[in-house]
Homo-oligomer: A and B are copies of this chain.
């Protein structure tokens, strides 16, 4: 996709340009003309001649020059017609403001609009959106009244109404935007294509997204990887819970997943910085936009107010920051300039009667300290406080040091002038001091993210000797027979085809055969009924444990009798004899749930009798990388058990990781899998591997 025509058009046609002041079609022309767009503007309106000094055209085809971008604001019934005309005219991009499409149940019209553009390589924004702004060229192709400052933040919002608030906040906070896109219904262009563009866009350093959901997680992750390589953070506010497809499912993993599971995993895997509220989103925009990345997490706090200093410190520690231990020189200097009752330790309390000079000297000293990576300057407006003077000091010192700094002037009217001085100079100014800490915590979090793309690329390749064809055949046969759930014997065949370690097992069809096979297998086995019609084997007497050669015949016959009594209509294919699981393993659970937007989500958790009690489980969008798997295991409380908390026995975490990567590959190869549970997976002591004891696979019909 070529976004040049969208963001840097030389000429724009506004189809549906209106003479009625206050209408959308009028506002857009007005914004483009009055806010200073320098290219050609062609209002299209059969009934008008001139609008805001620009000649009007009846139809887009009447325009003699080239048209790069068409902005469409006509009633929904006319949209398709004018869109086709615009395509014919050769536009590179189209912004459809008009609503009345998918959001009103009109999905067909939206699909048609999408196809018209896609087939002609035309970039389509919308429909049902506010428009697009590029302040760099003074282009406000939207009906938002404000043209924001030009800056380095690209802003994407699925909610048009939120754009209005965002522009208002940004203006107050002195934040500039590189591009501003109301994505609307995202018929063709969604966040992922725009992320790919912003990765390359020289004007954009930070991307901010409000979304109700992403699509194409694979492509999203690849785009994120490119953005990481260019050190461009992506900050996301995600609203709305997504449906985990199998909420009412009988699978263990399904019952352990929450509605936010998939997105939490996605954000962690891609290194997107998540804002938990609109308030936090704006804090993060300021802190990321106004600062370079810190080289560590050691925070210095300077305050003229003890209480807020403590609150800031509490929040800093909770946000993964550390309170800097000042260099001895700094401490001595601070003691020499501060009153006796001030605190020269971090947080440095310069007291309520602090002059500008005392505040500035202190801030200067801690900013210069080599043990300090970032600074928060807290102020409350006390009787003797020169708010504007201190603001000017902060602005001055920000220029002297290459370290992130956030000012927190805690108040309203009394601090307004000071805050204005800060934001005009592009110093991050966060009203509430605790929020300043947590935003810096996320800045540090971003600074720690390593690029994961290469690992991911390798992972996809590493499995050999697997037999997708065999699995395909089993699945096809299962579906052909009208079943969705694989019986255990078949599930075991599938696991073996992908070289998952399983217990030895064999299917027999008579009591005599059972006796012989058990003798061959040596020792004791579990005997389980093999029938596609029986899902819960124990319930119908279809499981016997500890069966030996001696008891084999009798157990077999008794089981058949029980099945006859309890499930007379079940078609019995045989009996599965399985090795008894060895002792000494930790029971884990490996499974997947499927998210409506993001696809398969891999899960690993602590199994056994406590699985439902402690819900110790973590998730990753597939395909997972080695780093993802490491993170998933580390996140588990029970990873302490795996790593030797229980009497020092270390378990085979490598084999567990390998199983997770293998599962990821398997799920990736077979998107039609609906539910997948390995429960339990026994993880044995280090070097002894893992083993699937029981598994369950359900398919989409």
Contact = CB atoms under 8 A, between A and B. Distances in A.
Interface of A: 22, 24, 27, 99-100, 103-104, 143-145, 157-162, 164-165, 168-169, 171-172, 210, 212, 237, 239-241, 277-279, 303-308, 310-311, 314-315, 340-341, 352, 380-385, 410-415, 431-435, 609-610, 612-616, 637-638, 640-641, 645-646
Most B CB contacts (10 A, CB to CB) among A158, A434, A640 go to A434
- The quantity of this chain's copies bound in the complex is 2
Contacts of A340: 104
A161 B380 contact: yes
A148 to B, nearest CB: 13
A308 B352 contact: no
Given A27-B383, A278-B432, 10 more contacts: A22-B384, A24-B383, A144-B382, A159-B305, A164-B411, A165-B308, A171-B413, A239-B310, A610-B610, A613-B645
Nearest to A317: B241
Given A314-B241, A432-B277, A411 B159 contact: no
7 closest pairs, A vs B, by CB?
A159-B307, A161-B305, A172-B412, A168-B411, A279-B432, A162-B307, A165-B410
Contacts of A304: 161
A646 B306 CA distance: 51
A311 B613 contact: no
Contacts of A381: 164-165, 168
B314 A352 contact: no
Contacts of A279: 279, 431-432, 434-435
A100 to B, nearest CB: 6
Given A341-B104, A638-B613, A159 B431 contact: no
Contact of A311 (B145, B278, B609): B278
B161 A412 contact: no
14 contacts: A104-B340, A104-B341, A160-B352, A164-B381, A165-B411, A168-B413, A169-B412, A239-B311, A240-B310, A278-B410, A279-B432, A610-B610, A614-B614, A614-B616
Nearest to A432: B279
B341 A305 contact: no
A644 B165 CA distance: 51
Nearest to A101: B341
A74 B241 CA distance: 60
